[in-house]
Structure formats: C-alpha cells, structure tokens
Chain A
Amino acid sequence: MAHKPELGAPQMAARTSVACSQLQFPGDRSRRKTSKKQTSKAEGTSGRHRAQSGQKEEAGGNLRPGSPRRKQSERRRRQEELGEQKRSPAGRNLEGRRKRDGKASFRGQRVPPEKEKEVPKEETWKQLKKHRSTSLASSASGGESLSEEELTWILEQVEEKKKLIATMRNKPWPMAKKLTELREAQAFVEKYEGALGKGKGKRLYAYRMLMAKKWVKFKRDFGNFKTQCIPWEMKIKDIESHFGSSVASYFIFLRWMYGVNLVLFGLIFGLIIIPEVLMGMPYGSIPRKTVPRAEEEKAMDFSVLWDFEGYIKYSALFYGYYNNQRTIGWLRYRLPMAYFMVGVSVFGYSLMIVIRSMASNTQGSTSEGENDNFTFSFKMFTSWDYLIGNSETADNKYASITTSFKESIVDEQESNKEENIHLTRFLRVLANFLIICCLCGSGYLIYFVVKRSQEFSKMQNVSWYERNEVEIVMSLLGMFCPPLFETIAALENYHPRIGLKWQLGRIFALFLGNLYTFLLALMDDVHLKLSNEDTVKNITHWTLFNYYNSSGWNESVPRPPLHPADVPRGSCWETAVGIEFMRLTVSDMLVTYITILLGDFLRACFVRFMNYCWCWDLEAGFPSYAEFDISGNVLGLIFNQGMIWMGSFYAPGLVGVNVLRLLTSMYFQCWAVMSSNVPHERVFKASRSNNFYMGLLLLVLFLSLLPVAYTIMSLPPSFDCGPFSGKNRMYDVIQETIENDFPTFLGKIFAFLANPGLIIPAILLMFLAIYYLNSVSKSLARANAQLRKKIQALREVEKSHKSVKGSAMVKDSGYTLKGSSKNATQFQLTKEGTTLHSSSQSQTPDQKAQGPGTSSSAGRTSLSTTKHIPVSPPPRDSGQPLPQTHPWRSASGKSARRPPPDN
C-alpha cells in the first residue's frame, strides 16, 4: 500500500546521510568531502528513516486494516502531487548528472527484484546506494546540491517500484487498479533505470538489465514447467472438489509414496540389477544362476512362476542370483559392496525423506494450545471447506457443521454432565479386553498357519490353497478385523475423534502384530534352514568330489565340469525370505483390488440398478454406497511400504513391483473413488492428521529396519548363493573392501574408529547432546506457555473492563440485569473491576451514546445491549500506528479519542 514514501522523509534522509557515507564507505575515499559535524544528526535521521521504511515494508507485505481503498486513493492523490513536484526538477537535472551517476545507479540497480524476505538486505542496499550517489553528486558539483536529493529520491522510487512489481499480487486491489499500478511502475522503472544507466558502464549495465529480465522470465517459465510436471494434479483436484480435502490427502500421500519408491527403484535398479545383468555372469553359468534339474520341467509353468519359483526364483530379482565375485566386468564394478551399500542407503534415504517431510509439515502448523480461545470463531469462519464442489458433499458438510455447532453449544451449557461413569468404564474395559483377545487370536492364527505352511513346503503335491494359506489368512484378517473392531468400539461410547484415534491405533497394532508374528515364524524357518546348511554343504562337496574322482572316465582328458543344474545346493534362506515378501506384496495388492471391485464397485452397481425393483430404498437404506476408507487405505499403504523396506534387501526386484503397484493403484483407486464411493459423513481433517500418518510411517520404517539389521548383523549368509556367500557375516564385505582397495593408513583409521573406546564416548556425547537439546526445548516450551498465560490474563482483564462498561451502563440507565449465569459472573467481575479502574471517563460517553439505543431496545439482556453501543466511527486515520499488539491500550485509546461529552 505505502509504496511511496512519506513526504519529506527521503529528502531529509538524503541530505543527512551524506555524512553517513563517510563512515560506511571507506572505499569511496576520493569522493568524501562532506563535513563530519553532521555525523550525529545523520545517524539520528537515517535511523528514523530506516524505521519509517521498515514500516513501509511491513505495510507492503501485510494488509493494513482500515478502509484501504479510501486510504489508497488519498495517498495516490498525494503521491501524484508529489510526483509532479519531484519529477520535473529531477528531469531537468538528470541530463547533467547522468555521466557522473552511471556507476552509482548501476550499483543500485543490481539489486534483483526483491522478495519480502530479503527486506533487511534490501534496506542496507538502499542505504549504501543512497550514500554512494549523494557523495558522488556532492563531490562533483556543489552548485547542484538540490539535485542529489532528487537523485536519491528517484533511486529510492525505482527500488520501491520494483518491490511493488514483485509484490503486486499480494495487494488487495481490484485487478484494474493492479494493472494500472503495474504499468505505471514498470514505465517508471523503465524510464529512470534507462536514464540513470548512462555513462561509463552503460553497455554493461544495459546488458545486465537485459540478463536480469531474461532471468526473471526464465524463472517464471521454469516455474510453469515445474507445475506441469507434477503428475495426477488434475485427477487429485477432481477428487478434492468432490470429496473434500480429506480424501484427497490419501491420494497426495500415495503420490508422495510413489515418488519415494521411484527414487528407491532408481537406486536399486541402477546400481544393482543393471550392472549384474550387463556385466555379471550370464544365466546358467554357475549353480546359483541355474534352475536345478529337478525343477527344470515345471520351471516355466505359470502356476510355478506365479509363486515366484522356477525361472523367476533364479533371476536377478532375488538375492540368491548374485555372485560373490569381488568385481565384475571390465569396469571392475564391486557388486557385493554396492549391494550392501545400496541396502543401507535405501533405509538411509527413506529415513531422511520421512523426517524431512515431517519437519516441513510441522513448520507450517501453528501451535495447538491457542485454539481453545476461539472455538466458536473458528467454527464459524473456517469450518466451511471452500473446495467443496459437489452437492452431496455440501449436504454432508452442512449437517456436520450444524452438529458441531450443537455439540459445542451443549458442551458450553453443560460441560460437567456425567452419566453412569461405572457402566462406561466397565464397557470400555470389556471392549479393550475383547480387542486384545482378537489381537492375540489373530497372532496365534498366523503363527499356526506359518508353521503349517512349513510342513506343507516339505510335502509334495500340495493344493493351491495349502500353498497360499499364509497370505490368504493374513489378508482375510486384515479385511475382517477392522470392522469387528469398529463394532466393538461402539461399546465404548467415545467422542468420534477420540474413537477414530483408538481405531487407528488398534488396526495398527493388528497389522504390526500380524507382521511380526509372520516375521518370527519366518525366522524360525530361517534358523531351521541354517542348521541344515552344514549337511547340505557336505553333500555338495561329496558330490563334486565323487564326480571328479570317479573311475570309468578317460584319465588323459580332463573331465568337463559338472553341469550347474546338477550340483546339489542348499536352500538359500535369503531368497526364501525375499520370495515370501514378494508373495505377500502381490497378494496384498490383489486383495486390495478385489475388495475395491467387490466391496465398492459391485455394491455401487447393485445399489444403483436394483433400486428400481427393490422393496426398500437401497441408496438411503441398508447397503447404500460405500465411503472411501481413508484410515484403512493409508494404513494399508504404510504397511505395504514396511514390507517393501524389509524385503528389498533380499529381493531387489520388490521395489520395482511396488512401483507398478502404486502406479496401478493410483489409476484404479482414482477411478473407483469417483465411480462408486460417496463422500464422508464424518469429516476426517486432512491438515493435522498428515503428520500422524508420517509418524506411523516412521515407526514402521524403524520396525522394518530391525529385522533386516538383525539378519545382516547376526546371521551367517548362505554358503552357495548371494553376493556375500563364503563370508562369515554380510558386513564383512566392508572390511574386505577397506583392506584391499584403500591405502593401509585408511584401514588403520577405520579400525581405530571402530574401536569401542571411541564409539562409547561418541554415544555418550550424543546422549548428552540429546539431553541438552531436550532441556532447551523444554525451557522454551515453558516460556511459551507463560507467554500464553500472560495473554490469557490480559484477555481476562479486558473482559472485566468490558463488563465494567456494560454494568455501568445498565446501572445508569436503570435496567435490571437478567439473563444467563454467565452474565451474573460477569457482573461479579464488574464489581471487582469498578474498584480497580476509575472508569468514569469511559462511562460517560457510553452512557451518552447509549441513550437512544437503549430506549429502543428496552428489555433485552445486558449483553445484547452492549452490542449496540454505537461507538463513534472507529478511528481509521492512515498515519495511525496499529493498536493491535496491546488490546488494552487500544481500547483505552479509542475511548480517549471519542468526542468529549458535552457537559
């Protein structure tokens, strides 16, 4: 708004800041010719000027209250007069000064179009520039002393205009005004920039200006390009307008997840799979890369491939395929090392990105504690979601707003209403007991099934069901337990918001329990395989020994090596684990899709088309359409990601499968939600739960890190498959690399760093740092709370003051006080207040003003009369500083500014 300076301020600053240039510009020694006497004065005025311009800055960024249009027009009028005054002499003097000032203005113009955050920097620039130019002018000609002010003024104007151009879109003006202002500002900048730019550095200056313009244009185009690159923007917008922001938040989360998985996929694919496929030994060259003879017949059958056996099992998708050669190909690529490092960095990258997005989420949100003060206001002014563009959603929103208002009213009226607390408690305990039983039961069921599947895996010709029992049981549990929990939770009679949190927590516990039971059972399996490994190893050696030493072959010709398919081999447990996760992911995906098809789409079709010939209204009655299950979907996505993290070390192809899954589910779910779901009745706030999801994701990431770390650190790798075969532990690959590929002193340093004597102090130091930071944050939080308390106290004081006014009025006009208990308490406060504040001077005008109002509205309660106090038009003079920070002062200020009572 205040894009032009107050009258006189810049001139004064310019005149006096001449002296400042001496202090701040030692580089300009030759040009310093002004006296030092002015220094002190200059300091003062320039400081004042800085304050003023700071204020201007603020005004440009924030919207000033008051009636801005009136103010603007007023100010513009003033400006134009000012402009007429200023520009004419400026134009006159410009010709003479161009040569001298070329450099100065050039320095000034290099300031890029500022954003608001660069304000302080910009301020100093202004100062510098001003000083420079004035000192220049004064050094060259004493006769044109007036013109230097003009020059500074112009420079300042140019800067102001530039800033105005940059922040034009933040102004609350109608477009026509913005356009004319923009045009004016651009014309001004164009004119005077050109005018000031003559002289020595003219060419360079022009070039720079050109480049700056090009740069701005490039940035804008790049921004345009970047927004176009965000995928599925329109789809999500569509969903958002139909279902509100809560459902869209799931899809945004899905998109984010897709991005993360793409990066992981690039990492794994680019650094492991492609090098192995291109440079590693080809399929069939060594036993681990060949399908065994016994499986060869069926290895290409679809049913076998579907279970990730056969050719798929012996492919680069799984751990077992990789060879333990230290380097592969002509690049001498260290594949085992790369495999290990990628496995570590998958977790590292995921941790980093999750924590970063959590941090950026928290930055945007304001603190929660303040919200209690404005329950009704927030409900009134921010509850309508302007995104809603669908009448059904709008209907639901109206209903939910009405209920929330009613709830708050009820809360307000009878906040301490408790009914039969014992029954509620009993029911809650019962519900929790039932749910714990469910959780234990599901855990046992999974353990049982996994055990059984191990028996099945030893038997021949098992049926399809027996082979896939684990996956089916887990999926069924995931499908049926959440509704069961919801039914049980109805017993508890919680507030829906709290109930939802409980529900989320319980489903989370269920998923987690299932996953960990599954892992434990898998671990049993792994240990079993590990214990068998020695015998298998012996058999392998024995076979090879027998093969080479058996008689009946021509001794002179060396025997051809045994065909890799015939070599007996161990049961590579890493691949088995990888296959389990792969199957789990695929079956999970299929179950999700089938659930959507059956539960949502077919239901919607049934309801839609059978409604014509049914005895009750299907759409409004029992089956109805399905709602989009946000919490379930998000949790499903999170757990799926957990499985990916766990499995990706043993099945590098898993991330690729997951990318495909996310891609298809994006399109499929978008279609499903638009075609067959109805908007929610219960609104699930998207903005705050977002970090909740991220927190869950972080927890799952941590929990999925544990088993992987355990297997890497404490289980020996299989002896005949995978990149780490033959080593005692997987992490030995690092030691090997350090020993063989780095100079010895580095190896020594690493050995020194790995020494417990150094690690334990480092851990201690970290603990200390955590403790320190924790205590700092605690004390800050305490300070915050105290400040809040102060504000609260201030509000209380204000309220009491308000009721002082109200009661004084009521007493004077002789109306009795009737109404709610709230008024009574206010009245009590009043009595205390009257002793404190001598409110005589504010009473009288109120009373005066109240006269006509009260007579017309006789018989109302005191509060409603207070509303009618016609305070004389609120003071809105443009120069007035905002009485916002100190409401008490503002109130008193207003009462002081009222027209004096005529008695």
Chain B
Amino acid sequence: MGNKQTVFTREQLEAYQDCTFFTRKEIMRLFYRYQDLAPQLVPLDYTSYPDVKVPYELIGSMPELKDNPFRQRIAQVFSEDGDGHMTLDNFLDMFSVMSEMAPRDLKAYYAFKIYDFNNDDSICAWDLEQTVTRLTRGELSAEEVSLVCEKVLDEADGDHDGRLSLEDFQNMILRAPDFLSTFHIRI
C-alpha cells in the first residue's frame, strides 16, 4: 500500500497518524474526500506541502456538514484565519476532533469554541441566543429565547459573571450523558 500511493510520504502519514485519531486508510479516505471537494484546486501530491485552501462554500456543502446549524462556526473554528477556508491540515484536524476516539476534554474545548460565536473566550448571553436561534430555526419567540438563555446561565454559570467561561462549560458538558454520542461526525 505504501508503494502505491504517492500523495503523502511515509513520514507524513506517520506524522498524521500521530497527530490525529485516524488510521492510515482513514487519512487517505479523508484526503480523497477533501480532494473531491475541489478537484482542480487540490493537487494529488502533498509531499511538498502545497499551500491550498478550500473555500468555506465547498466545505459547508459536504453531506456531513450541510445540515448542521453550526457548520459555519465549525469551519471558522478549525480554519487558520477564522474565515472558514480550510487547508488539508485544518480539515484533518476537524474530523479528528469530531471522531469517535477523541477524548471528552478535547471535544469539550472545541465545542466551547464553536458555541462562542463572538470569539471572546466566553459564552455570553448573545452567544446563547445565537445558539438557540440556530437550533430552533428561529421558531421560538424572543421572550422564550431570553428565558432559555437565562435558565442556561442560571444553571451553568459557576462564578456568576453572567457568562459561561470555559471552566463553567466544561463542568457542565462533562456531565452531559449525550455529549459524546452527539458531538461526533462520522466520515
């Protein structure tokens, strides 16, 4: 197998296996998925580390992501510049974190970043409103949304600064029974 494929060198593959939760075959599959997104853009030879980014419009149209209300956030969090355009490395990173094998802490860290819409290192009421609106497609009334946000802050805000810090979020999410089973994308 090592001789057939020339996309990566052996060392690259080994390094990717060290840095992600994927096997060699899965990495190759992910690469081909990535390459399929933009066949004219992505070269079939990655041994020389080409600097290629696939735009967010293509990333967001993947079947795994296209129905996700947080797809834009996911892409932004994992992209280098926060604009959602992803290199292969970012792409692998994203699916590694979202894979089954990733530990709770890692997932919780990235979930926090995803739900932190304004990137201010804490989930404030505005972030919560955004989350609820996306989850329900805006079908809750404004009072209901604010009530829900209030309740969430009431429940999870450990230090009462009116916003969820990463600690608060981790403290809450690590007790959630469904977090691990829902916060994962199969590919």
Contacts and interface: CB of A to CB of B under 8 A. Distances in A.
A813 interface: no
B184 A866 contact: no
A874 B110 CA distance: 20
Contacts of B144: 405-406, 409
Interface stretch (A2-10, A96-104, A681-689, A736-744): A681-689
Contact of B178 (A172, A685, A868): A685
A720 to B, nearest CB: 57
Given A169-B18, A174-B80, A685-B178, A798 B160 contact: yes
Nearest to B178: A382
A381 to B, nearest CB: 6
Given A168-B19, A867-B125, A887 B159 contact: yes
Given A62-B105, A376-B151, A391 B161 contact: no
A668 B170 CA distance: 43
Contact of A63 (B25, B87, B109, B131): B109
Contacts of A380: 128, 131-132, 135, 148, 152
B140 A402 contact: yes
B41 interface: no
A175 B21 contact: no
A867 B151 CA distance: 12
Contact of B18 (A168, A227, A382, A384): A168
A178 interface: yes
B42 interface: no
Interface in B62-112: 63-70, 78, 80, 87, 89-90, 92-93, 96, 98, 102-103, 105-106, 108-111
Contact of A391 (B67, B136, B163): B67
Interface string A378-394: 10111111111111011
B135 A174 contact: no
Contacts of A61: 105
B186 interface: yes
Contact of B136 (A377, A398, A802): A398
Contacts of A874: 122, 161, 165
A903 interface: no
Contacts of A799: 154
Contacts of B176: 374, 377-378, 381-382
A371 B121 CA distance: 26
B175 A388 contact: no
A241 to B, nearest CB: 6
A376 B173 contact: no
Interface string B174-187: 01111101111110
B177 A172 contact: no
Given A169-B19, A376-B148, A869 B161 contact: yes
The secondary structure that dominates the B interface is: helix
Most chain A Cβ neighbours within 10 Å, of B19, B102, B122: B19
A623 to B, nearest CB: 26
Contact of B186 (A179, A224, A241, A375): A241
A625 B35 CA distance: 36
Contacts of B182: 245, 382-387
* Residue with the greatest number of chain B CB neighbours at <10 A, chosen from A175, A179, A237, A383: A175
A802 B132 CA distance: 25
B111 A381 contact: yes
Given A380-B132, A381-B179, A894 B18 contact: no
Contacts of B17: 220
B19 A179 contact: yes
Interface string B114-130: 01000001101100100
Contacts of B148: 376, 380, 405, 409
B172 interface: yes
B23 A401 contact: no
A31 B132 CA distance: 68
Nearest to A393: B67
Contacts of B154: 799
A376 to B, nearest CB: 4
A388 B137 CA distance: 16
A386 B131 CA distance: 14
Main secondary structure of the interface of A (DSSP, over half): helix
A85 interface: no
Interface residues of A, number: 84
B182 to A, nearest CB: 5
Interface in A117-172: 165, 168-172
B137 A398 contact: yes
A172 B110 contact: yes
A277 interface: no
B90 A384 contact: no
Contacts of B125: 867
Nearest to B19: A178
B137 A687 contact: no
B159 A894 contact: yes
A870 to B, nearest CB: 9
A801 B161 CA distance: 12
Interface string A162-193: 00010011111011101100110000000000
B6 interface: no
A383 B135 contact: yes
B172 A381 contact: yes
Interface string B131-174: 11001110110001011101111111011111101110111110
B20 interface: yes
A241 B181 contact: no
B53 interface: no
Given A377-B156, A405-B144, A170 B178 contact: no
Interface string A788-812: 0000000000110110010000000
Contacts of A165: 18
Contacts of A496: none
A687 B177 contact: yes
B98 to A, nearest CB: 7
Contact of A894 (B161, B162, B166): B161
B63 A241 contact: yes
Contact of B158 (A381, A866, A890): A890
A574 interface: no
A859 interface: no
B63 to A, nearest CB: 5
Contact of A376 (B102, B136, B152, B162): B152
B15 A182 contact: yes
Contacts of B87: 175
Interface of A: 61-63, 65-67, 165, 168-172, 174-176, 178-179, 182-183, 220, 223-224, 227-228, 237, 240-241, 245, 365-366, 368, 370-371, 373-378, 380-391, 393-394, 398, 401-402, 405-406, 409, 412, 685-688, 798-799, 801-802, 805, 863-864, 866-869, 871, 874, 882-884, 887, 890-891, 894
7 smallest CB-CB distances across A and B, nearest first, come from A175-B89, A394-B67, A65-B166, A867-B162, A376-B151, A802-B160, A224-B23
Given A172-B109, A380-B131, 15 more contacts: A170-B103, A175-B87, A175-B89, A175-B92, A179-B89, A182-B15, A183-B15, A378-B172, A381-B131, A383-B135, A383-B178, A394-B67, A401-B136, A874-B165, A891-B159
19 contacts: A63-B109, A65-B166, A170-B103, A170-B106, A172-B110, A176-B89, A237-B186, A376-B155, A377-B172, A381-B169, A386-B98, A391-B66, A394-B67, A401-B136, A402-B135, A402-B139, A867-B124, A867-B125, A887-B158
